[in-house]
Amino acid sequence: MLCQMLGAFCLSFFAKVADKRVVAVGLTLVTAGCWATFYLIPKDSFTLQLAVNGLGNFCLGPTSALVWAMYADVADYGEWKFGRRSTGLVYSASLFALKTGTALAGLLLPLILDRFGYVANVPQTVSSLLGITLTFSLFPAGFAALKGLMLWIYPLGQSKVDQMEREIKARRAVSAGAPVPD
């Protein structure tokens, strides 16, 4: 958690370096790589596990904040494209998706572990240990990689966002009867 907070603290640095979409993709893919690496790390390499987990969580921290900022860009896009502001709808839909995803993850975890033969409070089989390992390594890495892909095809780069903001500001000025800004 400390690494996530430190990563979120560094968000302003990341935002100055590159477009938030590109930064979000990069950080998400590093997080996916860290989670996938857990599949390969020997179980007795505790220090390496901590280091990889720290790096993954450091990258996860600012990614969450960047995605929420991108939701604001989606609301701006709606106003720019259709002339209607729907910020509440955008944020409520994203919260619904987040809660639905959390519920599905809570449903899938015991189903996956059961499929691998996990039984609580008994020594685990080789198969159940594999299931446990997959549920915190390759499976979440796959979802993170999918998120990275979705962020990559997200069409609102910074230049488009800047263009939309200028045009929205001009429209608002015209509707208020003010002179159009340059």
Q: Average pLDDT by consecutive 10-residue portion of the chain (182 residues)?
A: 92 86 94 96 94 95 90 93 91 95 94 96 96 95 96 92 94 78 58
* Distance (Å, whole) CA 59 – CA 10: 10
- What pLDDT, on a 0 to 100 scale, did the predictor assign at position 119? 95
- What pLDDT, on a 0 to 100 scale, did the predictor assign at position 64? 85
Its pTM surpasses 0.75: yes
